[in-house]
A and B are shown apart, each in its own frame.
Chain A
Amino acid sequence: MAQITLTIDAVGATVPEGTSVLEAALSAGIYIPTLCYDKDLEPYGACRICIVEIEGMDGLPTSCTTRAADGMVVRTDTERVNRVRRTICEMLIADHPADCLTCPANQSCELQQVASHLGIMQQRLEPLEREHVLDESNPFFKLDLSTCILCARCVRACNELRGVGAIELVGRGYECHVGTFLDGPMVESVCESCGECVDRCPTGALSAKAERLPPTREVKTTCVYCGCGCGLVLGVRGNRIVRVRGEAAHPVNRGSLCVKGRFGLDFVGSADRLTAPLIRRDGELQEAGWEEALELVAGRLSEIKAEHGPDALAGLSSAKCTNEENYLFQKFVRAALGTNNVDHCARLCHASTVVGLARAFGSGAMTNSLGEIEHADCILVTGSNTTEAHPIIALRIIAAVERHGARLIVADPRRIDLVRFADLHLRQRSGTDVALFNAMMNVILGEGLADEKFIASRTEGFEQFRRALEECTPEWAEPITGVPAGEIRAAARTYAGAERASIIYSMGITQHTTGTDNVLSLANLAMLTGNVGRPSTGVNPLRGQNNVQGACDLGALPDVYPGYQKVDDAGVRRSFEQAWGVPLPAEPGLTVVEMTNAAAEGLLKGLYVMGENPMLSDPNVNHVREALEKLDFLCVQDIFLTETARLADVVLPGVSFAEKDGTFTNTERRVQRVRAAVDSPGEARQDWAIICEVASRLGYPMHYDHPSQIMDEMASVTPIYGGMSFERVDEVGPQWPCPDAEHPGTVYLHEGEFKRGRGKFHPVRFREAAELPDEEYPFLLTTGRCLYHFHTGTLSRRSAGLEELSPPAPFEIHPEDAAAEGISEGQIVQITSRRGTVRARAVLTERSRPGMIFMPFHFREAAANLLTNDALDPVAKIPEYKVCAVRLKKAHESSPGC
């Protein structure tokens, strides 16, 4: 970009063309007071406090909206400028309570700073009497209009950065104020409680309720809630987290956060935290000492191993825990217990991704990076309710559409919030994704929109794949999917016509008995149009848990060692045997659902669970309970007494993310630091240290002084992590593959060549879901997440505020269906599948497709997974959470329940 040079107060400044005078001054180290300016928002020019004199220009232009020009001479601090600034500031103060000491923004208020810069010490103008309007309806923050200076930063942030538009400047002249639609309470508006507006407000008008005392120190870490992997700055006072902000320079969130990350960390300091080991005595879990608990665990595990062999044991690792803990856990299971029976909840969300993308491309991870999304011309979002499940990634999608004019196609049975920004919403019947994508590809081929050069030079298996598509016309797909043929054609043309098209998907694609097929279809679609291996393209699975990517990468899977190296490859096995100093089992182990089945059949005798809660997360929970109860020995290591821990023989208290050092790998393969900010409660111990204790007592000594040593060991046996170390990931985490210390990390995969050599097309034929609605069970149930909670709610439901914003156990139903069934809003309805019954609260909404109901799975009061089908995808062994058949009946009880 061309550079220009201008003079500001006798200082020369050279800046890129297009820079504002204000930003040029700031870059030259010159302070100009501002109020409505915010570096992340469009220039606004409303407060006029940033005025300057510019030679050759009339009047006093606002520097934030005036572009710097070559040779410009600017004066920022003349008598004339200051006089006008003072008048403006005095008018603002006249309309402002002079009560700084009691204001939540005291010391951080920008109005205070500007006034002091201008030398204003007291109110000179007669104060105006304004009605005191206070909106405290949101549990996390309040809006006090008496200190609002109408800079509109909140309004602009809500619109420009979040795409929500909950607030607006309402009314005119003296009546003008920040308000919601029809001036209703904030909490009843479309507000998502993200707190962006609070963060941007220069005064105390918008302030967090909890933040009464400022922190004494800050600790940079990574959010524990979801796979976005936002950078958090925890403000700590003593041993308490008193404030959370987004890290402004972070590559993922750029300072933004969602409600869970910003306001939902109450669980860390919760009184319910486990503080001592528990041992079951006379049927009751009772507190015990560490020595006794560890001896018991090691003793029982060795007994079972001696009596029934190592494969009668299994371990469930955790997508919530760090990379170091996952590495250590799978090493413990493989080397100390001697079995490959290790898995974790990734099986339940993205096993089909890992298998499908590995077959098509050779690597099961997100091909491209989050930052690239913004620059795609076309984005196809399918099976991902991004604004709720990955709020910060949704911001990039919204920015692509709103700022850069990208076309958005949403293919989802539900009218999710992103549809507001979409050019096309394809509302396919749940479980018919393959038919839909095949028909799109049929159009692309038929209309000559395929990228022949890419197909010829980069792929294989095309002919067979092409033949399988011949019958799949849009007219064929219309009755199957319920999507009009014309819309399928339009979507195909839009996607194929883009220079850079990106596919974003999540569990709506993977959690089917056809999950692997769905993923293969998307891979086909991307290869057919040459949308792999370039920036802002690709096939991008959004991983749910904060470290589900890392748990997979580090081998918490039954068939692979760290770095996806196959356990049944003799060469690989030998090198791990050498590294770990023991013989290792050759057969791949059991997956999550297979473990449950083996336990139910009495084949699996002992289970060690670290930080997972299968009693809510797994399908067909009744069956899970029976299976866990049948075990000879269940050990659970967690920070809370979860539904699963309640069934355990021994419970070991681990520590939360805010109390440990380590790394998480986010959904875009970025390895990021997690840092201890507070002390753990009671006798809780570091999770890695607990694993070392148990392993050592089993006769396999493990000793580390610090997680960084585990990282070093892990890097030495995991080629894709080869260049990682605590020093390396300290500031900005690199993205794997990062084979050595000099490697810069990999922003997008498969450039020039696929990981597996050539990309492989797979012919995929449409199959129906395992269980479809019928006369007896006429409704299709699909499950998913909501914005305010995470997974089984173990963490998020400890926040009173989140609980208030999202009260337990709703299910969504289309108003027409509700009318036909005689169900009204808020009514408690009994929902029954072939596997179980729950009671949930009806929410009538057109988001649901007619004939389909939706339930979030976070709530133990009405565990959606009592209903779901544990039928598995034949390849990836992922259960079909997204489709099962249920019937509805109005319940007599007035509260949700199981």
Chain B
Amino acid sequence: MEENLDGIFSQYAGERGELIPILQDVQRAVGYVPGAAMTQTARFLRIPESAVYGVVTFYAQFHLTRQGEHGVKVCQGTACHVRGGRRILRAVEKKLGIRSGETSEDYRFSLERVACFGSCALAPVMVVDGKVHGRMTPQKAVRVLEALE
């Protein structure tokens, strides 16, 4: 993957504080933050590659791999957990054929588990492409996904 990031870098002065905005731009342009882009960013900001990697892995907003068309997140926070969030996750994993943290081979879906969305009243919760689906059952969750296919 040899994206040319010069266009992005030209918007910045090359100061260390610009790391996060640059990574956001990279992710917007490429869809995720590839290793080569981290290397280029590290060179541009003159910081170690490991420091860039540390930041990318610290923030949930950054992805290390190409993401699917649809982002599916299943909550595993306390409220959801008590109300069967685990079963929702299993059903979704089975339906999509991938585990949390993975992307389907056809790049249609990416699945993640999340700690809490702050929608505990609606637990258990699943979020698809930013839209919150509350009071899920395994069947309902599968139907939400089928509607996308």
Distance from B86 Cβ to chain A, minimum over Cβ atoms (Å)? 17
- Residues from chain B with a CB closer than 8 A to the CB of A168 are 48, 50-51, 53-54
Residues in A whose Cβ lies below 8 Å from that of B53: 168, 170, 179, 181-183
Q: Does B38 contact A (CB under 8 A)?
A: yes
**B48 and A166: CB pair below 8 A?**
yes
Q: Which residues of A contact B60 (CB under 8 A)?
A: 172
Q: Jot down 18 A-B pairs with beta carbons below 8 A, ordered by A.
A: A165-B48, A166-B48, A168-B54, A169-B54, A170-B54, A170-B57, A171-B57, A172-B57, A179-B50, A180-B50, A181-B49, A181-B52, A182-B38, A183-B53, A190-B48, A190-B49, A420-B46, A421-B46
Most buried by B among A170, A180, A189: A170
Tell yes or no: B47 within 8 A of A by CB.
yes
Bound Cα distance from A183 to B57, whole angstroms? 11
Partner of A189, one of B38, B50, B58: B50
Q: By the criterion CB–CB under 8 Å, are A165 and B47 in contact?
A: yes
Digitize A158-190: 1 where CB-to-B-CB distance is under 8 Å, 0 elsewhere: 010000111111111101000111110000011
Q: Across the interface, which residues of B come within 8 angstroms of A167, CB to CB? A: 50
Count A/B pairs, Cβ under 8 Å: 49
Interface, chain B (partner A; CB < 8 A): 35, 38, 46-54, 57-60, 115
With A181-B38, A182-B35, A420-B46 given, is the CB distance from A165 to B57 under 8 Å? no
Residues from chain B with Cβ under 8 Å of A189 in the complex: 50
Q: A164-B48, A181-B38 are in contact. List 12 more A-B contacts (CB 8 A).
A: A166-B48, A166-B50, A168-B53, A170-B50, A170-B53, A170-B54, A172-B60, A175-B57, A181-B35, A181-B52, A182-B53, A421-B46
Cα-based distance from A165 to B58 in the complex (angstroms): 17
Q: Which residues of A contact B57 (CB under 8 A)?
A: 170-172, 175
Q: A181-B38, A181-B53, A182-B53 are in contact. Are A172 and B58 (CB under 8 A)?
A: yes
Binary flags per residue of A394-437, CB closer than 8 Å to B gives 1, else 0 = 00000000000000000000000000110000000000000000
A181 near B58 with CB under 8 A, answer: no
Give complex CA distance A190, B60 in Å.
Answer: 26
Measured between alpha carbons, how far is A172 from B114 in the docked complex, in Å? Answer: 13
Q: Determine the distance from Cα of A504 to Cα of B105 in the docked complex, in whole angstroms.
A: 55
Distance A169 CA – B52 CA, assembled complex (angstroms):
11
Complex alpha-carbon distance, A610 and B106, angstroms: 70
Interface pair B50/A165, CB less than 8 Å apart: yes
B50–A181 touching, CB < 8 Å: yes
| Contact B48–A171 (Cβ < 8 Å) | no
Q: Which residues of A contact B49 (CB under 8 A)?
A: 165, 181, 190
Q: Nearest residue in B to A164 (C-beta to C-beta)? A: B48
CA distance A421 to B60 in the complex (A): 31
CA gap between A190 and B53 in the complex, in Å: 14
| Closest Cβ neighbor of B52 among chain A residues | A181
Chain B contacts for A181, CB-based, 8 A: 35, 38, 48-50, 52-53
For B48, the chain A residues whose CB sits under 8 A away are 159, 164-166, 168, 181, 190
> In the assembled complex, which residues on chain A have CB atoms less than 8 Å from the CB atom of B59?
172
- Docked Cα-Cα span, A168 to B60, in Å, equals 17
Contacts of B46 in A (CB 8 A): 420-421
Docked CA distance A421–B46 (Å): 8
Once the chains are docked, how many angstroms separate the CA of A421 from the CA of B50? Answer: 17
**B146 nearest CB across to chain A (Å):** 32
Q: Which residue of A lies closest to B43 (CB)?
A: A420
**A165 contact from B35, B38, B51, B115, Cβ within 8 A:** B51
